[in-house]
Amino acid sequence: MKKRLEKLLEKSEDVVLRIELIEEATRGLLYVIKAKIVFINDDSLYLREIRRGDELVAYSYYWFNSMGELIEGWDNAPHHKDVETYPNHNTLGMALKVLRTQT
């Protein structure tokens, strides 16, 4: 994953200012990565992925504007059981949205 982030930075240097690695750890069979991507307009994307081998077990991606206000987020935390794409869901500002397809 770290190499993927480095490639992303190389390929997106016209829009990505920097990538800050917050955590990278192996916990038993799980690989955890947390990072912050800062864009040239000062927006930021926080990402967290937990993988077991090639399987993505848990994820969250949250995009904030330069004022720290949530623009949009995607995750699979199991807290919206009424969503048809449970546990995968999308948050647009303060509104919960159903993902078009399950990931």
Q: Is 4 left (phi over 0), alpha (psi -120 to 50) or beta?
A: alpha
Per-residue pLDDT, 94: 62
pLDDT higher than 70, residue 96: no
With CA atoms as reference, report the closest residue to 42 among 69, 8, 74, 73.
69
Query: Where do the structural domains in the chain lie, given as residue ranges?
Result: 2-97
Q: For 55-86, write each residue's pLDDT tens digit.
A: 999 999 999 999 999 898 888 877 777 777 76
Tokens of 98: 């159903």
Domain spanning 2-97, CATH class: alpha beta
Longest dimension (CA), the chain: 40
| Cα distance between residue 95 and residue 26, in whole Å | 34
Which pTM was predicted? Answer: 0.80
Whole-number mean pLDDT of the chain? Answer: 84
